[in-house]
Structure 1
Amino acid sequence: MREGAHLIKRLPIHYGWIILAAGTLGSFMTLPGQTAGVSVFFDPVTQELGISRTWASVAYSAGTLAGILPAPLVGRWIDKRGPRITATIIAAALALACAYMAMVRSELMLLIGFAMLRGTAISGLSLVSGYVVNLWFVQRRGIAAAAASLGVAAGSMVFPPLIDFLIAQYGWRGAYVALALLVAMTILPVAALVFRGRPETLGLRPDAGLPPVAGRTLEEPSFTRKEALGTGVFWLLSAVGFLTNAIGTALLLNHFSIMLGTGIERGAALVLLSALAAVQVTTTLGTGALVDHYEPRRLVPFSMAALAAASLLPAVGSGIVISWMYALCVGAAYGSQQAISAAGYAQYFGRDNLGAIRGTASLFGVSGAAFGPLPFAASIDWTGNYTYALIGSGALSLACGAAAFIVKPPAPP
């Protein structure tokens, strides 16, 4: 029996709950490499280095793409070595990436720093944190994975004001040193001491010891990455991730500009962002609970319909009612996709090669975030508004939602 199994079995609570908390913390601590965290540094960094925001944005997109390219290899590495050792190394690398950012002196160093941050946070810590929760929850995976993914939403609320405070107190370089220490003192020891592989190897049942869900089979599928890539469901889930990240990133990046086009001033637009986040949290948990009882692909039309509505509403209307409907739809689209993605791949393809499968799928989601804003930038430059980009986004979302009715569940390999 694995190291520490005897002690783990004697704990007063099932170790699955501890894994869930650790996975949530891992998602939370990805924020130094998430857009919400990096964006706070943009102005002070560009001003001190004497570079334009445009160049910094291009470097960020290039760094994002460079950082996610190793994701399939990282996923296979997690499958081979297990979540404990890989999460420990990844957390240490994220701390080093933050420390490196404090030493950036040139444009090239900044690009390398962005690639390090995005790679260790998105291709690394985010991937392994979701992976470990999926290992420990099977029939309750939907709600558990959804709850763990809320760490990112919580981090998006906590880290920006924290980073802003650190910059005001110690400058942006000092703030990055503080983030490096924070990562080293929180998720690094948690990864080394808490993360574990499958519960069965410790003599425990999955799903935190909760009774099986009525009507659900206990048999799990087992797909290799190659077999998963040959299924329509894999490409459906990847398309949903790509579109949600592409369109959602573009909408949020241009939120104030889009709202101004509908007649909403900055103060009211800020309120809409808060409402959006609240809806996202609620929808994530609600969709996660549904994933435990329904096939993930059956929930895709709802997610894509919400994304289509979010895209089309500001293109065809204006005013406070349209703006509130828009914010609610963006939150619903993000929240539902987050839950579908968090549990869907494991539901369809099993746990045996989950790291490799999720690593490949993450290429699509993160590349969507990198490329998504470009059509919106082209639309505003060429026409003076976002109408064409919004209508095109709505049409693609509806097409993806319709595809969910055609795609069939994968047959056992």
Structure 2
Amino acid sequence: MGAGTFGSFMTLPGQTAGVSVFFEPITADLGISRTSASVAYAFGTLAGILPAPLIGRWIDRRGPRLTATIIAGGLAVACALMATIQSTMTLLIGFALLRGAAIGGLSLVSQQVVNLWFVRRRGIAAAAASLGLAAGSMIFPGLIDVLILHYGWRGAYIALAGIVALTILPVAAALFRDRPEKFGLSTDAGLVPASEHPRAEPSFTREQALRTGVFWLLCAAGFLTNAIGTALLLNHFSLMRTAGIAHSSALLLLSLLAGVQAVATLGTGFLVDRYEPRHLVPLSMSMLALASALPVFGSGSAISVLYALNIGAAYGSQQAINAAGYAQYFGRDHLGAIRGASSVFGIAGAAFGPLPFAVSVDWTGSYAAVLIGCCALCIVCGAGALAVKRPSSAAEPNPKGR
């Protein structure tokens, strides 16, 4: 669990919270518009995530140790290559490598290794491991800001490449492990079953999972959270300027957001062990709807703090639901393939989410229209969760999922 937590922490160079600090220095240095950079980010993210289903199957077949080590090396190389970009096209390629290694690779395998080792305690374990992402969101933006101040944005990316190579690369090689049964151990750190006849763990193949409503509910919630959250974080400093918030205060709000995200992740992880993940989706969607609406109807410090609280809570709760939900509904046997498929939808949200925001600013000079639309979509998704049912045992043909 410690290795998975640290893996999530080290995805930050490729997460939006990390990239957002680079966004304005890159656009200024390359002489490109925010819209052009947003398009490069969108298509780079989409290109980077397309191999995720193959990576998921690769994790199932070769185990987390080898895959995590290779992916960590790829992330270090991607950071180094980001320091060499000279145009919009090379920026797109850099984003593809960076986002693919961090989101489509390291994030996926870091969640996978925790899900393999926990079943009854999966909700709280996956949530605790996801705190690495929240901790990274608190630490990396400030660290990157300091690195850019002293070494420029290109030097900052070189420094990040070195940090990745010296930290997560050896951790992945030394501590990532396949499921505990292969080592003669049991799941949940040897926790004694609550009854003599515990509920059988499900075993869905990817094709069976794709035929369930709950798979598409989790995908829809993940898509919206990534789309809206990525757009808000990528345009965070622009939104805060509109609200009358200085750069230094906007940086502090990112830390507040990450702190709330950590609390919400743990709290929701506790709930996931007691309630079905589908019943918690309306909670995350309602907070994301509020986060979308607040910048439209107010400004100033109080509204900005409330905005940061809601987006942090929405991110944290959905993070816990996403981390444990697929394993809880579909089991561990084909989890890599299932998560690889679902991640395409989630990261597609991150790819396309910023585009309507850029277009809205270019056409209307304001984020208001797109934010109202985002609020409405969150309400629809939260309401839709009430109609989705738990996958029936009929979809589980036998214990091995064959």
| TM superposition score normalised by structure 2 | 0.89
Q: 1:212 to 1:192 in 2, by over 3 A?
A: same
Q: 1:167 to 1:214 in 2, by over 3 A?
A: farther
1:259-282 Cα distance to aligned partner (Å, 9 max, x none): 566666666655544433222111
Unaligned runs of 5+ in 1: 1-19
Question: 1:123 & 1:365 partners in 2: Cα distance?
Answer: 10
When the two chains are superposed, the root-mean-square deviation of aligned CA atoms in Å is: 2.5
Residue 30 of structure 1, CA deviation: 1.1
Residue 15 of structure 2 aligns with an amino acid whose one-letter code is Q
Equivalence for 2:166:
185
Contact 2:11 2:133 (C-alpha < 8 Å) held by counterparts: yes
Unaligned runs of 5+ in 2: 396-402
Question: 1:170 & 1:235 partners in 2: Cα distance?
Answer: 44
Equivalence for 2:398:
none
Contact 1:232 1:408 (C-alpha < 8 Å) held by counterparts: yes
Residue 307 of structure 1 aligns with an amino acid whose one-letter code is L
Equivalence for 1:37:
18
Equivalence for 1:9:
none
* 1:75 is aligned to 2:48: no
Q: State which of 121, 130, 145 in structure 2 corresponds to 1:164.
A: 145
Question: 1:251 & 1:271 partners in 2: Cα distance?
Answer: 15
Residue 8 of structure 2 aligns with an amino acid whose one-letter code is S
Residue 171 of structure 1, CA deviation: 4.2
Contact 1:30 1:121 (C-alpha < 8 Å) held by counterparts: yes
Residue 336 of structure 2 aligns with an amino acid whose one-letter code is G
Q: 1:134 to 1:383 in 2, by over 3 A?
A: same
May I ask how many residue pairs the two structures share in their alignment?
394
Equivalence for 1:117:
98
Residue 249 of structure 1, CA deviation: 2.3
Three-state SS of the structure 2 residue aligned to 1:357 is helix
Three-state SS of the structure 2 residue aligned to 1:404 is helix
Three-state SS of the structure 1 residue aligned to 2:201 is coil
Contact 2:138 2:255 (C-alpha < 8 Å) held by counterparts: no
Deviates more, 1:38-47 or 1:89-98: 38-47
1:210-260 Cα distance to aligned partner (Å, 9 max, x none): 344579934210011111010000000000001111122233334455456
Contact 1:40 1:160 (C-alpha < 8 Å) held by counterparts: yes
Residue 270 of structure 2 aligns with an amino acid whose one-letter code is A
Residue 328 of structure 2 aligns with an amino acid whose one-letter code is Q
Residue 164 of structure 1 aligns with an amino acid whose one-letter code is D
* 1:351 is aligned to 2:344: no
Question: 2:263 & 2:209 partners in 1: Cα distance?
Answer: 30
Q: 1:259 to 1:160 in 2, by over 3 A?
A: closer
Three-state SS of the structure 1 residue aligned to 2:200 is coil
Question: 1:81 & 1:62 partners in 2: Cα distance?
Answer: 29
Aligned pairs (5 A) from 1:34-113: 34-113=15-94
Residue 152 of structure 1, CA deviation: 1.5
Question: 1:271 & 1:41 partners in 2: Cα distance?
Answer: 16
Equivalence for 2:399:
none
Equivalence for 2:217:
236
Q: State which of 279, 282, 286 in structure 2 corresponds to 1:298.
A: 279
Contact 1:139 1:216 (C-alpha < 8 Å) held by counterparts: no
Equivalence for 1:279:
260
Question: 1:272 & 1:52 partners in 2: Cα distance?
Answer: 25
Equivalence for 1:375:
356
| TM superposition score normalised by structure 1 | 0.87
1:168-222 Cα distance to aligned partner (Å, 9 max, x none): 4444444333322222221111111211111011111111223445799342100
Residue 406 of structure 1, CA deviation: 0.6
Equivalence for 2:372:
391
Equivalence for 2:122:
141
Aligned pairs (5 A) from 1:174-253: 174-212=155-193, 217-253=198-234
